[in-house]
């Protein structure tokens, strides 16, 4: 079951009222469930848009619809609304949404790729960058390739050494080296053109 706090319900009622009220409700669905890129979407939904197999959570003034395909991934989620210095933000904690990462018996390549997708790339995205696994050698040498704002960035080496490599080695001590295979001279929109700034990860 999904728990919606009183503050979240109050916020939803305000949003619905601002849209004119009527028979508007809220639909909640999982996007890319079971992956590091998983997220939760909320949207307005009329009562006539409800599907027969939706989960329906009755709240004061509105219903929350959860489509059947998303339900297993959102079971046990908590929806909250918290005040912030800039106003407020909706917070959704869904423990099952991203599934479980590769187990200890998975290959080093699978475990490294999952970590990059789940933890490193979300941080690099704030600088318009990304990193992908190029290869893992027989001696556990990891080769990475940066893209987006990280390609050609003056701080790419700092990001690699102090951010990405530090994160990977801490999680996977069997890694012998972390190398950058990126052609930084071909970068079109580096985040830092000079050598100022700091690592995007850390």
Above pLDDT 70, what percent of the chain?
Answer: 82
Whether 114 contacts 102, CB under 8 Å: yes
Instruction: List, for residues 87-96, the tens digit of each pLDDT value.
Output: 889 999 999 9
DSSP notation for 38-62: -EEEEEEEEGGG--TT-EEEEETTE
Q: What long-range pairs does 169-177 form, CB within 8 A, spacing at least 24?
A: 171/111, 171/115, 172/108, 172/111, 172/112, 172/115, 174/108, 174/140, 175/108, 175/112, 175/140, 175/141, 175/142, 176/139, 176/140, 176/141, 177/141, 177/142
Instruction: List, for residues 83-129, the tens digit of each pLDDT value.
Output: 888 888 999 999 999 887 788 889 999 999 988 888 787 777 766 77
Domain architecture of the chain: domains with CATH? 3-93 (2.60.300.12), 108-186 (3.30.300.130)
Question: What is the pTM for the complete model shown?
Answer: 0.58
Counting beta carbons within 10 angstroms of the beta carbon of residue 190, is it exposed (0 to 12), middle (13 to 18) or buried (19 or more)? buried
Can you give the pLDDT at residue 59?
Answer: 95
Phi, psi of 37 (to 5 degrees): -90, 5
180 SS3 class: strand
d(CA 23, CA 49): 10
Can you give the pLDDT at residue 195?
Answer: 44
């Amino acid at each position: 079951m999904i728990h919606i706090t009183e503050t979240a319900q109050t916020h939803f009622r305000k949003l619905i009222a601002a849209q004119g009220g009527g028979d508007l409700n809220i639909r909640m669905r999982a996007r890319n469930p079971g992956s590091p890129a998983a997220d939760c979407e909320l949207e307005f939904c009329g009562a006539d848009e409800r599907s027969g197999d939706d989960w329906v959570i009755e709240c004061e003034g509105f219903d929350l619809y959860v489509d059947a395909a998303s339900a297993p991934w959102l079971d046990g989620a908590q929806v909250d609304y918290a005040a912030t210095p800039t106003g407020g933000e909706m917070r959704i904690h869904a423990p099952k949404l991203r599934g479980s990462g590769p187990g200890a018996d998975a290959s080093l390549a699978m475990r490294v790729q999952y970590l990059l997708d789940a933890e490193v790339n979300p941080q690099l995205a704030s600088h318009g960058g990304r990193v992908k696994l190029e290869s893992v050698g027989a001696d556990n040498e990891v080769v990475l390739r940066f893209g987006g704002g990280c390609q050609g960035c003056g701080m790419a080496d700092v990001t690699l050494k102090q951010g990405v490599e530090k994160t990977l080695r801490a999680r996977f001590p069997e890694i012998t080296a972390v190398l950058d295979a990126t052609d930084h001279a071909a970068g079109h929109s580096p985040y830092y053109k000079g050598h100022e700034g700091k690592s995007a990860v850390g």
